Structure formats: structure tokens, C-alpha cells
Amino acid sequence: MTEGTADPGTESPIAGKPRLKEYDGEGITVTFEPRRCLHAAECVHGLPEVFDLSRRPWVLPDAAAPGRVAEVIRRCPSGALQYHPAAGGAAEAPDAPTTVRRGPSGQLVVRGDLSVTGRDGVRHETRAVLCGCGASGNQPYCDHSGPCAEPDDDVAEERQGVPGHPREVSRNPPRGGR
């Protein structure tokens, strides 16, 4: 184990930093920040042999080529999944130009070369879903605790098909009269 890494599936003990779970592989290390996961399921649909919610650890970075693992991680809209390539590998390049899109429930989906200020200080990001309603307990990131908790219909269908998905999908109209 090297400094800054942990046994598979354990949380990073570094004080003042976000709680991360790290999964080390031969060519790539995958990090997961549970508080930021919005369960878009890009990972489990993209590489089920690597990302399997019914297994512990649920991430096996060596179950696919590192480049393929990185490609699927870049689909994670919230940035809860990140990766670090082995020595000499290319780190994730930010999208250019930076884009900001308001989701159907109000959250801001942001991709690019980002500097996000939150309770853990300033973080360099390439992907984030930011709270648009002010109710998140994980500001500035969306945690689906407010009106943003109501997903749009096409995403709701995908979430229902994810085995072991921890959130129930509601068909009720969003709170707050929207």
C-alpha cells in the first residue's frame, strides 16, 4: 500500500479531505466518493464486470483494460468516480469548452476545467453536478435531498433496472410546486 491509497474499498483517512474509497488495479486506481454519487448508473451499465453492486468490493479495476475503465468513469456525471492511471498514464483531461447545463430537476451539470469551492476547500474537478435548489447537505454538490430528488422519466427507467439500487424512484411530482 502506498501513501494516499487504501485497501480495496476502504475509506481514505486523510483529515480535511473528502471521504474516498480507493480500488487499486495494475494499470489504474479508481476512487469513489459516496456522498457525490447520484446513481446515474453509467458505471454498472458501461462495465458490469468492473462495477457490480452485488459484489464486495463492488469495483474490480483489473476486470477490464485501464483505458476502457477510464472511458466509463468519464461518463459519471457527478464526478463521484475518478481515476488515476499508473505511472506515465494520461490523467483525465477536462472538456473544452466548459459546459453548464441545468438538469430537468434544477441541478447544474458541469463539465470542464473546474475549480469548485465547498466545505473541503477548493477542489480541481472535471465533472460535477451542483445543487440548484439549495437543499443539499453536501453543498455545493447535489445530493438529491431537495426538489432535485425527482429524476426525469428516462433516467428513472434506467435506475429501476439497476440491481441493488439504494434509492426508490418516485413518480410523484417534484416538491415545491415545480
Instruction: Tell me how far apart the alpha carbons of residues 98 and 116 are, in angstroms, rounded to a whole number.
Output: 13
19-62 pLDDT, tens digit per residue, is 899 999 999 999 999 999 999 999 999 999 999 999 999 999 99
- CATH code: domain 10-85 is 3.30.70.20
61-84 pLDDT, tens digit per residue, is 999 999 999 999 999 999 999 999
Among 6-15, 108-117, 147-156, the minimum mean pLDDT is found in: 6-15
Instruction: Write the CA distances from 11 to 4, 36, 39, 109, 110, integer angstroms.
Output: 10, 14, 19, 26, 26
Report strand pairing: 99-102 vs 81-85.
unpaired
121-169 pLDDT, tens digit per residue, is 999 999 999 999 889 999 999 998 887 766 543 443 443 343 333 333 3
DSSP category for residue 21: E
Instruction: Tell me how far apart the alpha carbons of residues 81 and 110 are, in angstroms, rounded to a whole number.
Output: 15
Spans of all domains in the chain: 10-85, 99-159
C-alpha cell at 65: 483494460
User: Is pLDDT larger for residue 104 or for residue 40?
Assistant: 40
